[in-house]
Amino acid sequence: MLDGHLVGNTDQLIGEPEQIESANTTSITFIGHKKYVPLWEKSKASAAIVNRSLGLNSPGDNRAFIEVENADLAMASLLDLFVPAPLKLEQGIHPSAVVDESATIDPGASIGANSYIGPDVKIGANTTIHPNVTILDQAEIGMHSIIKSGTVIGERCVIGHYSILQANVTIGSDGFGYRASPDGKGIVKITHIGNVVIGNQVEIGSSTCIDRGKFSSTTIGDGTKIDNLVQIGHNCKIGRACLIAGSCGISGSVTMGDGVVMAGQVAVKDHVTIGNGVTIGGKSGVINDVPDGMTILGFPAVEAKETLRQWAVIRQLARKK
């Protein structure tokens, strides 16, 4: 199944995958980096998926390695064999759910207890709405998507097919749009009349907030994965297959290309354009446009090698003092 090569063997029945430090004799673990190789000798695991590049060829007595090109991807495939039984939600609408009579819900969809489905909402086939979800007027959700408890999907927002929204996600709240009043004595709220459009196979982590557009749409491209506690401002355009780690803050009207990787706690200034295939190091502050393919780091974020040189100079100056 893993397209691997067996080194050694074991007669131990494998019952679960586990981290190398916590494994038991019934466990299979994985070694994807050389720093974990020394842990194998003390581990109780009977088998390990290992990167072929590590050159490991002596698993020990009654133990086995499965050599693969990429241990992380192979372990992901293995985990599919051990997925627990899914949450039991029967097809149809739970008696305690409140569903407006104008909503269109496919018979194959599941609507959990105490959920609210507003007027003219559309929910596609085999989509699962967990208990205590709120879906407001004219929102649309495609097929085979999963919306977990506590999530709020605002009016007129659109969720694609095969997408997953974890608990307490908020889609379509008002953007952070304010201006000083003409007399300079107050703050005027700017109305946001747009929506949010989320593509297919998108995953959004718990307590992430995506604001609706001031006008037109805030968009999230197909295949993008967003971690917990991320803020995405109004009218952002996030490309396809992006990875956005936890606690990032993306200001309004940012445009991100395809395949962008954003590490944790990155902050992005409004109206910035980030090109395709850009990688942004953790806690960086992006205040200027970034060309395709760059790796940037620091505050303000610049090309990573330049940031590292700056840090080296600062260390040298500190030592001289």
Q: Could you give the residue ranges of the DSSP H alpha helices within the chain?
A: 71-79, 304-320
Instruction: Specify whether 130 is catalytic.
Output: no
CA-based max dimension of the chain? 81
Q: Tokens 């466990």 map to which residue?
A: 27
Residue 201 neighbours by CB distance under 10 Å: 17
Answer whether 212's CB lies under 8 Å from 196's CB: yes
Distance (Å, whole) CA 74 – CA 236: 34
DSSP state of 155: T
Answer whether 161's CB lies under 8 Å from 147's CB: no
* Active-site residue, selected from the candidate residues 144, 161, 192, 234: 234
CA atoms within 13 A on the CB side of 144: 6
Q: Can you read off the two tokens belonging to residue 268?
A: 């992005």
H/E run at residue 166: none
Answer whether 89's CB lies under 8 Å from 132's CB: no
Residue 217, strand partner residues: 195
What is the per-residue DSSP string for 123-141?
E-TT-EE-TT-EE-TT-EE
Q: Can you read off the two tokens belonging to residue 280?
A: 């942004």
Handedness of CA 53, 55, 58, 60 (dihedral sign): negative
Answer whether 17's CB lies under 8 Å from 79's CB: yes
CA atoms within 13 A on the CB side of 131: 9
Q: Which residues are catalytic?
A: 234
